Amino acid sequence: MSNISESTRYMKYKVIMKFYDFIDDPMEKKIVRRPKELNLQRNIIPNKKVTEILSNVENRAKTEEFQYVRDAVILKLILCSGLRSTEVSLLNVGDITLIKDSYQIRIRDKGVITNDRALLAIDNLKQSIAQYLKMRQGDAADPLFIEVYKFKYGVGGKRLTNGSVSRIFKKYLREVGLDSSRFTCRSGRHTAITTSIIKDADITTIQFLWKQPDIESLQRYINLLPPNR
């Protein structure tokens, strides 16, 4: 059975166990949980494509148009800092704080503050955030990322929803020829974690930055990396 996938083995096991359960006691019900699947190989965005995506949006941000400056920060937070689309959507203006020479970001879950996360030292991220905050303005409790429609000089513009963040992300994926039905914002998170490991960041540091629940979760990423990384 060495060539049979884990999912197939699981299904065979489940059928056999159900059969024996029925023989032992037709009325007895036992539940076998399906193993959690994490197809990282399918979800990781190639490094060349990440570079191309960021280069495209950075070039547009040079025009100082609000939309592209905003998009540059969103893409970097997902592709380089590993934020989830929901976390990006829920950010407020006051959730990003400059401490010494780096930014710290306050993460929310359903509107409730869950933790503060230090952003990795990523090329041009600090400049992109500073440029966007200068254009965005607004009070600390105002949404950080907003729609371009009706926005002017820090006033107006509704908060971007989780779906809006996802659509922005997929738009830039399509521009570099990536299948937006295959790659998602979650793919961006997987990519960010994998990139950090490739760059030999300490695993404890990575665990803190990405708020993974255990080392086992991170080990899944490490097992997929080439031995000569």
pLDDT at position 98 is 81
Q: Find which of 152-156, 158-162, 202-206 is predicted with most confidence, using mean pLDDT.
A: 158-162
Domain boundaries, the chain: 6-37, 42-223
102 contacts 118 by C-beta, under 8 angstroms? yes
Confidence of residue 81 (pLDDT cuts 50, 70, 90): confident
Distance (Å, whole) CA 30 – CA 17: 9
pLDDT at position 189 is 87
pLDDT at position 229 is 47
- Overall average pLDDT of the 218-225 stretch: 64
- Overall average pLDDT of the 22-41 stretch: 55
pLDDT at 23 over 90: no
Q: Which CATH number is associated with domain 42-223?
A: 1.10.443.10
Distance (Å, whole) CA 105 – CA 145: 14
SS3 168: helix
Average pLDDT, the chain: 78
The type of residue at 214 is D
Pairing of the two strands 112-118 and 102-109? antiparallel
Lowest mean pLDDT among 6-10, 169-173, 177-181, 196-200: 6-10
**Residue from 21, 23, 1, 28 nearest 12 by CA:** 1
Q: Which residue has the higher pLDDT, 40 or 48?
A: 48
Q: Which residue has the higher pLDDT, 109 or 74?
A: 74
pLDDT at 177 over 90: yes
pLDDT tens-place string over residues 103-134:
888 887 665 566 677 676 566 788 899 999 99
pLDDT tens-place string over residues 204-213:
666 666 665 5
